[in-house]
Structures are given as C-alpha cells and as structure tokens.
Structure 1
C-alpha cells in the first residue's frame, strides 16, 4: 500500500465521507463532552482542535470489555501486540509510533517503567476506571517526553451522587474468575469511591513453539480509593490511590513467573479565583515493580518510582482568549539487582498554551521547555487552527514537535546501553475535517497525518547494542463515523497508515508489528431490558523483523465478538460475551498465541 501523495488520498476519502457520511466510522466520542487531556484543562470536544476519543463507564459496560487494552481496540489508529492472553505483556502502538511513544496518565499522574519505557496496561484494573481519554497526535508541547504518538489518560471512578454500591461476579473460559465491589457516594460538594477487585485465570499456552506446553495463568488483586471536597471559597481537594498486584506465568529462557505491583497516588488542590482564573497544584507518585523467577528461583528485580509535582494556572483573558502556564517537576528512581551507572534523574518542564477565537476561526499555540539531568535541554511546540463551516462542519490544520527521552535501559543497561544517547524527536503535520448532522445523530471525521521521527533508538543484530541512527516516517489517514440506523447504534473506524523505516539497509521497509490497515465496527441495540451488540475487528499483515522477511510476517486477521445483557430485575443485570466467535487462529506478536473461541458471563448488582 502506498499513501503518497498523501494529500490526494486524503482528498479522496474526504469526498467519500461528504458524499456518504454513514459508511465509515466514529469512535465513542459525543461532540459536546468535556475533555481534559487534549489541552491540560477542561474544554468541550468541539473546542479542542486535537483528534480525541472518549471511552465512558457506560461504554466499558456496553462492550463488556475485559481489560484496558481490550477497550482501546475500539479507538481509531491503535493496534496492540499481545504476548499470549490475559495479563501478558501488551504493547500499544498509536498511529504507527513505538509503544514507548504513547504517554499514559492516571488521574494526571505519569505512569510507566523508567527502565523499559513501557506501561503495563494489562496489569491495570478496568473495573476501577470511570473514563478514558485518548488524544491522537503529538502533545510534548504540553506534557514533555513520550507524547510522540499521543496521550492516554485514565480516570478512576469518582462518585458524588448519593450512596451507590455495586457488586459484580464473572466466570468464563480458561477457568477465568472475577469479583469486584464498588462503593460510591457523596453529594454536590463531596465525593468518594472505594473499589476492590480480584481476578484470575488458568490462561492457555502463551507460546506457539510448544517448548513449554503448559497453560500460563494470571492473578491480580486491586484496590482504588478516590475522595474529594469542594469548599465554599472555591477550593477543590481531590486525592486518589490505585494499586494492583499479582502473579503472571509466562514462557521464557530466563524466567517463567513474575510478581508485579502497579501503583498511582495523587493529590490535587484546585483554587478558583473569581471568574477569570483557576490555579491547580498536584503532587503524585507512580510505581512499576517487577520481580522475576525461573522455576521458583529469583532471577531479577526492576523497581522504578516516578514522583511528579505540578503547578498550573488557567486564565480567561477575554471572552475569546485564554492562557495556560505551568511547571512540572519529575524525579525517576531505579532499584534493581542489575547495576546501573545512574539510578536517579530529575526533569523540570515549563509549559504554556494560548487559545484565541476570531469569529468562526480558532487558534491554539503551545510551547514547552524541558531541562533533564541526563540529556540536557529540549524545546517543543505546537500550533493549530480550526474553522467552523456551515452545516456543522469544521476543518483543522496542525503542526507539532515532540520527543522521547532515553530510558535507563537505553542509557545504562550493562553491555548494551549508551550514556551518550539523545532524545528521539518528531515533527507531525495534520489536516482534519469533521461534521455532524441530524441533531448530532450523524457524526463523522477524517484526519490525515505525516509524522517524521529522528534519532530512533533500536537494538540491531547481531550485537543488539543500542543504536540511534534510525529515522522513520509514518503517514496515515483516520476515518470515523457513527449514526443511528433502523434502531441500531453503528460506530466504525478505518485507519490506513504507512509506518516506514527511512534509514540504513532497511530504508523503505515497514516498522515491525504495525499493520497498514486497521478497521473496526461496533453495532449495538437497546431493546428495553435486553441489549445486544457485536464488534468486528480486522487488521492487515505485519512484519516481525526490520528486513520485512516474507516468511516471518504475521498474517492479517479478522475477529467477531458478540455480546448481550439482560436486566433480570430493577437492580440485577446478567451479561454474556463471546469473543473470537469464528475461532480465528492468529498472532499479534511473533510466536505468541491468541485465544480461540472464549466466553465470559457477568452478574452485576447495582441498586437503583
């Protein structure tokens, strides 16, 4: 597939959307919803100029999703690479960028391992999630390192409306068992939410080579707490804690069992100053801890702690202009039985953004300067313009730079690290058009992007020592639309992308584990006490080596999931989901199996 010239294809698909807006797909976003992540402050989806998808608690329950990676499959531009089922290492690729190029936040706190640079989304409990916001495209000019491909922010459940208990129990294939209790409550000024859950599965044989033909199980216990109060003087205080810990069985030459802890702690103070300004101070800490064993013998420990502090001011200058300024302080620490030359580093980032509207035209400008103890200073910026057109249409154009700081493994891992590495850098250009009609019952959008990345970090054979000579260019088009059709809610999306290596002997080849075509469709219908739905997902082939060897590529695949739930009584609901109904045999990571036909039944009690 060739995407060049990109403008020609973008024009073609845009005309197709204009001519037939019901054909292609929209994500879960409703256009009047409030989004926080795109601009680091509350704005409606109509106001922000970035492509945004919002996944609500209602969406999670409707899809009967089993994990955070599972629900992210419904978002345009995202493909996953999973290493053998529930709880196994899962990498999220957004718009063809590396999995480490996606910034993940929980209630505003940066997550991730400082050694690997990845976030163990598979270990975070979906039952404790209220909402997920996904912003596609660079956001380093607001958040600093990692946001080359985009940002995923997870909000924990909050409460705030009387006392609302909820209990759910699930059982299904591979002896999967889940239980969760959620207690929420409050009023217009006070909110609280306490959640505790446990889940386990026997799993299945994760690897396809059958060298260890045993089932690879997974266990996780989790707890979350969030509480806050709004005082009469305009001060809001909000605190939250999320922790998950458990065991994971896997197949590997150097280990076959791991113990993990994922934790995020957050405290936020928000002060409203009249009608013109809001001052926010936030302090948080995240932990990624992993102990690894081989047949019961301890092998390695990699524990990282990230402590962050932020002060931010949002000022409404006039009715048509607003300004945001702030400063972030971050410290990363490593505790490991592997010797690192450096085990701690600090980063200070100062950022600002300005929004201004002139009639139907809106301008956004943002800039950030980071000063890192290891790699020095780095400046990023972004500019976007949007224009509202008649008949509910809007056109946008944006340009942004972004970077990714080298990890402790990149810099200091024995025998393979290089302390002289510089940040990976990107330049992204984007054009978009969107529209809504029939009282917002029809929604559609198209976005074209071109992202050039320099200083890509890789580990080429035969030495597998870190290298920083690679370049990449990722061009793509995202199409989405949604509507109500004969009583059915239809949401579908299509992504066409070319994630291309642009340097060395592999120039012109695709980046590994990234398909060129992604498509999904969700169809749901509410029949009173009974609700039914289906998801169709398809991805094209992907390569597993930089040389794009035909014999090593993974075939494309398509899957079908069916779901239904029934309200047994006022407070009781039973739901059933059957995944991979066609029993498709496929892989998303080389050598690792995916589950065949599998099912899960959930009974939920939520007094109304």
Structure 2
C-alpha cells in the first residue's frame, strides 16, 4: 500500500482552498451549532463521555490544535501535565516525548488506534504529523499495556483524525500564515456528520528556512553553522456510514511528509532527511444483539526514514517499518451498570532498510478482558491482557482502578497497573558492525505503577492532584562492552520514577486562569543518578481574556535543569529555562479571524538535547476562516 503526496500539488490545493471556502461562507452562513459532550475511546477501548473516564486522561481539542499557529505537535504536548520533550534542532529533526518520565520508546503512540512507533528504534515520526489536520489527541498517563500491549509503560498518545460520530452540520476551515525564519503555512479542511454519514478531510502545507540546529558542543562531525529548513505536507481524513441502526463502518487515514535539513559536520553540505508517516484503519461495528456489540478492525501503518548524509548515494541510509494490526473486540452490556469487553488482536511487524537486520519480522497474538462497573458512588475498571510475541515469549499485564465520588464535584481515585515493552529490532537483531551487534536473548522491559488522584470539577473550576510511582525493571542498556570491547544490549538497568502533578483552572467571567506543576524524581536505581533529559520540576501558567471581538492570551512555562548523560556530569548539564509566549486574535466577523503568536518573547537560549539549539524569539501571523 503506497500513497505519495506531492508537496507542490498539496501546496497549490491548500492555497486555493481558503478562497473557495470564503465564497462558500458568503452564500451559506453557519447555523447555530449545539455544544456536544466530549466522547473518548482510548482509556477503556470503548466510547464514553470524558467526564466518566477513569485514570489520568487529557484530551487536546481540535480547536486548540488548529489555533496553535506554526507550532509542531511535541511542543503542544509539552504543555500538558506530566509530559516533557527533547528536540535535536527544530520541528524537522528527531524529537522525543517523556510521559511521566518514561522514555519515548516506553510510551505508545497511535493514530486512530493504529500503532505508529517505529519497530526499529521505538521512536515516532513527529516531524511528519501536522497538528492542524488532527481532530483531537487523547492522552493516557500511566501504564496501559493491559489495554494495548507492548510499549505502553508510560502511557498512550492517540492521535484522532475523525469526529466522534455525533450528528453535527457541515463545517470547514482554512488558514494562511507567515512568520519568522520565512515560515509559511496554509491549509484547508472540512467535516460533518448527518444522514447517517460522518466525514472529514484536512490538508496542509508548511515550509521554513529554519534556524541553525546545532552549536559547537555537538562536535565537529555534527556542528554546521547553517540554517536548517524544512517542508512539510499532511493529509488526513475519515469516512463513516451507519447503514442500519447499530451497523456501521469507518475508514480513516493519515499521510504525513517532511523534508528537513540537519547538520552532519562542515564537510558534508546539504544533508537532509525525508520522513514519511502513513496510517490507515478500517472498522466494522455491528450490534449483534441488544447486549452484544462486535467491532472488527484492520490497521496499517508505514514509517520511512531516508537520510542523505553526503552529496552522493554513498552516505544514504534508509530505514522503515510496516505494521499490520487485526482486531476483534466484543463489548457486552451485562446490565445498566456493568460492561465487559473481550479483545483479540494480531500484530504483524516488519522492518526494512539498508542496515539489514538478521531478522526482520515478528508476530504478536494477544487476548484481553476489560471490565467496567458503576455502583452509585463507586466506579471500577479492571483489565488483563496476554501477549505472545514470536522470538520473545509471553507477557501478561493487568490494571485495577477504583474511583469514589466524595460528592457530585469531588472524586478520589486509585490505580495499580503493570506494563511492558518488547525490545526493538535494532536491540535484538542488529548485525555485527564495528564490534557491536544486537542481542536476540533480550527480555521485555517491565513496569509496576501505583497512583492516587483527587479531582474537583464545577462549571467554572477544575482542580486535580495526582501522585504516582512507577518502577521499571529489566531495562535495556543498549551499549554494554566486555574487556575485549565486544558490545551488545543487555537487560541490566532498573529505575524508579516518582511524581506529583497539580493542575488548577478557574473562569472569572471573560478571563480564564490555568496553572500547573509537575514534580518528578526519575532515578536510575543502579547508579542513583537522574535519568537523562528529565527535569525534576516543571511549572505552567496561562491566562486568556476576551474583549468583545478580541482575545488576548499569555503562557509561561519553566523547566528545571536536566542532564544529557547517565553520569550526570556538569559538562553535560542542560540548564533550566523559562519560556514566555503571547498570542492575540481578533474576530472580524463570525467566519474570519486574524491571529498573532509571539513565542519565546525574551529570546531565551536553551537546549533540550546537548549540542542542539532551540528556536529563539519568533512571530507568526495567521488568517483563519471557520464556518
């Protein structure tokens, strides 16, 4: 399954789309749209209102994603509780996300429920995913392997490109923006759900000259004092139809592309990487009886990295992953207060590329049970899952969560859960090269998590406190050498991450205040040192105020110091930093809005990865249409 999206074609379509949309707006003004409940599916693998969800869950709405200006998805995620990021020099380069201190490979990333973590490395192609083409993002913090299997040790990030299926009229959007570093971004999309159909389509194009991604600390084989730009295109969509009551099918797709420059030393000029991310899903939902719902699903994802490190093919490296996921989920309504789900799943993973592995294929067969019970003030969710992975063996994980309604506004919750991560193909099967080779005898990493929460919610106020401890065992040390300098990966490491997250928000008339703080103790249990690139403290503060047709906003985030090496040496310390961002918008009419974003107002110089720069003070202007 190959689908290539030509950047120029998409750019041309996106540039013309806003003018077509404006003409549509003039002839068809938007009707009053009712406010709908937020429906999520990730926390229990079944649709439910967000207010009923158990666990530490956040949803980033489509409005927030589309109003993010030119920011890339990891930067948006970093403003959520319990999430930290690193970047190797901009949105076009390698980025990683830490959920509650777990490494990027230890948190599962999905697109409409389909896995997209790279099988070779465990990383995610964030550079190829444009937030403006996403419907919403659902985030689970804490192990969810009992729901989704391998890699969900720190949590799950599910990128959704379809609506929740509730009836709503046709709506459309378009945008055209320019900013610092010759940044340009435009896009178009529409969606709706009526007459048993639901549909969506969104396309975008972005380009930038970028900034210098490295500093001299990166070393002579990396540092190059040139600007590193990028071109990004994205296309997402969905189509669903209910052909009889309780009988429906759904199709979704995401196709992202990024052509980005990177530094590989002053003697290698014009080096770049091409990253593609594809994800497709099909599901058939059938109400077999009043109490039995069957969901058959198929997913396909393909990740590609093509790195050109010289002016000729001699420096070219190609790596890729193909994953096919088959599932059959049966939801049983036992009675009004009790529900049970049985999940059967098969995953086919294949690795490919110029660095040929000694083995490039593995299969996973899994079965899981999920129970949800509500008894007046008491709420219970339990899940268990068994995974059999070819070449690795069996792994069983579980989770038990309990919520108690202290009042209509105050809720107490507790969760105990386990997680695991299967080794990557590189960990297991990398061929002997320069004294290093993979270790096919590696065991899966595993974790045990305990957490407690207290949440308060009224119409104007939200407060939450979450404390947790996650113990990691059999962690993979990717590079261990013997006395003869023969090196491989081993299960020698262990770690404990303890944390506390506080969140508060209150609506004072036209003004919304939000504040949050994360306190983290991410410790390597073998050495007693702090895990690399994790900050112990993160503080967030934001305020937005509406003035007639205008809206003003400011946000501040402080991240404490981190270390970029396991020994926590002073030479590799990454200093703490504070970022101030400002934004303003003006509603010219009910369909047309102007927006301005000023990020890193104080031009703070900081690093999230040693030797790699981040963007200084920058401005982005955007004209947005909505209907």
1:482-540 deviation digits (Å, cap 9, x = unpaired): 1113531112211101000001xxx2100000000112122112223211111111110
Alignment map for 1:235-384 (pairs within 5 Å): 235-252=247-264, 256-298=271-313, 299-384=316-401
Taking the aligned partners of 1:184 and 1:214, their CA distance within structure 2 comes to 41
Could you tell me how far 1:58 is from its partner in structure 2?
1.8
Q: CA RMSD of the aligned region, Å? A: 1.9
Could you tell me how far 1:63 is from its partner in structure 2?
4.4
Could you tell me how far 1:31 is from its partner in structure 2?
13
The residue aligned with 2:472 is: 453
Taking the aligned partners of 1:57 and 1:48, their CA distance within structure 2 comes to 19
Q: What secondary structure, in the 3-state scheme, does the structure 1 residue paired with 2:355 have?
A: coil
Could you tell me how far 1:460 is from its partner in structure 2?
4.2
Could you tell me how far 1:71 is from its partner in structure 2?
1.4
Taking the aligned partners of 1:183 and 1:365, their CA distance within structure 2 comes to 38
CA 1:31 to 1:390, structure 2 compared with 1: closer, same or farther past 3 Å? farther
1:454·1:472 contact (CA, 8 Å) conserved in 2?
Answer: yes
CA 1:410 to 1:384, structure 2 compared with 1: closer, same or farther past 3 Å? same
Mapped pair 1:499 → 2:506: no
Alignment map for 1:136-155 (pairs within 5 Å): 136-155=141-160
Could you tell me how far 1:434 is from its partner in structure 2?
0.9
Alignment map for 1:79-98 (pairs within 5 Å): 79-98=84-103
2:291·2:334 contact (CA, 8 Å) conserved in 1?
Answer: yes
The residue aligned with 1:231 is: 243
Alignment map for 1:205-604 (pairs within 5 Å): 205-209=212-216, 211-252=223-264, 256-298=271-313, 299-390=316-407, 392-414=409-431, 415-437=436-458, 440-460=459-479, 465-485=488-508, 487-503=510-526, 507-604=527-624
Taking the aligned partners of 1:88 and 1:39, their CA distance within structure 2 comes to 33
Taking the aligned partners of 2:566 and 2:281, their CA distance within structure 1 comes to 40
CA 1:295 to 1:280, structure 2 compared with 1: closer, same or farther past 3 Å? same
Which ranges of structure 1 fall in alignment gaps of 5 or more residues? 1-29
Q: What secondary structure, in the 3-state scheme, does the structure 2 residue paired with 1:119 have?
A: coil
Taking the aligned partners of 1:435 and 1:219, their CA distance within structure 2 comes to 44
The residue aligned with 1:35 is: 40
1:544-581 deviation digits (Å, cap 9, x = unpaired): 11111122110000000001111123321111100000
The residue aligned with 2:187 is: 180
Taking the aligned partners of 1:587 and 1:603, their CA distance within structure 2 comes to 31
The residue aligned with 2:14 is: none
Taking the aligned partners of 1:99 and 1:113, their CA distance within structure 2 comes to 11
CA 1:430 to 1:65, structure 2 compared with 1: closer, same or farther past 3 Å? farther
CA 1:320 to 1:163, structure 2 compared with 1: closer, same or farther past 3 Å? closer
Could you tell me how far 1:112 is from its partner in structure 2?
1.7
2:362·2:390 contact (CA, 8 Å) conserved in 1?
Answer: yes
Taking the aligned partners of 1:398 and 1:417, their CA distance within structure 2 comes to 36
Which ranges of structure 2 fall in alignment gaps of 5 or more residues? 1-34
For normalisation by structure 2, the TM-score amounts to 0.88
1:31·1:45 contact (CA, 8 Å) conserved in 2?
Answer: no
For normalisation by structure 1, the TM-score amounts to 0.91
Of structures 1 and 2, the one scoring higher in RCO (CA 8 A, sep 6+) is 1
2:162·2:252 contact (CA, 8 Å) conserved in 1?
Answer: no
1:63·1:563 contact (CA, 8 Å) conserved in 2?
Answer: no
Taking the aligned partners of 1:230 and 1:544, their CA distance within structure 2 comes to 52
1:31·1:46 contact (CA, 8 Å) conserved in 2?
Answer: no
CA 1:64 to 1:217, structure 2 compared with 1: closer, same or farther past 3 Å? closer
Could you tell me how far 1:238 is from its partner in structure 2?
0.8
Q: What secondary structure, in the 3-state scheme, does the structure 1 residue paired with 2:357 have?
A: coil
CA 1:441 to 1:186, structure 2 compared with 1: closer, same or farther past 3 Å? closer
Mapped pair 1:197 → 2:212: no
Q: What secondary structure, in the 3-state scheme, does the structure 2 residue paired with 1:96 have?
A: coil
1:15-49 deviation digits (Å, cap 9, x = unpaired): xxxxxxxxxxxxxxx99633211111112333322
CA 1:444 to 1:31, structure 2 compared with 1: closer, same or farther past 3 Å? farther
Q: What secondary structure, in the 3-state scheme, does the structure 2 residue paired with 1:459 have?
A: strand
1:206·1:593 contact (CA, 8 Å) conserved in 2?
Answer: yes
Taking the aligned partners of 2:294 and 2:348, their CA distance within structure 1 comes to 23
Taking the aligned partners of 1:64 and 1:246, their CA distance within structure 2 comes to 18
The residue aligned with 1:135 is: 140
Taking the aligned partners of 2:162 and 2:335, their CA distance within structure 1 comes to 34
CA 1:435 to 1:127, structure 2 compared with 1: closer, same or farther past 3 Å? same
Could you tell me how far 1:337 is from its partner in structure 2?
1.3
Could you tell me how far 1:65 is from its partner in structure 2?
5.9
Could you tell me how far 1:417 is from its partner in structure 2?
1.2
Paired residues, number: 573
Taking the aligned partners of 2:139 and 2:236, their CA distance within structure 1 comes to 22
1:31·1:44 contact (CA, 8 Å) conserved in 2?
Answer: no
Q: What secondary structure, in the 3-state scheme, does the structure 2 residue paired with 1:41 have?
A: coil
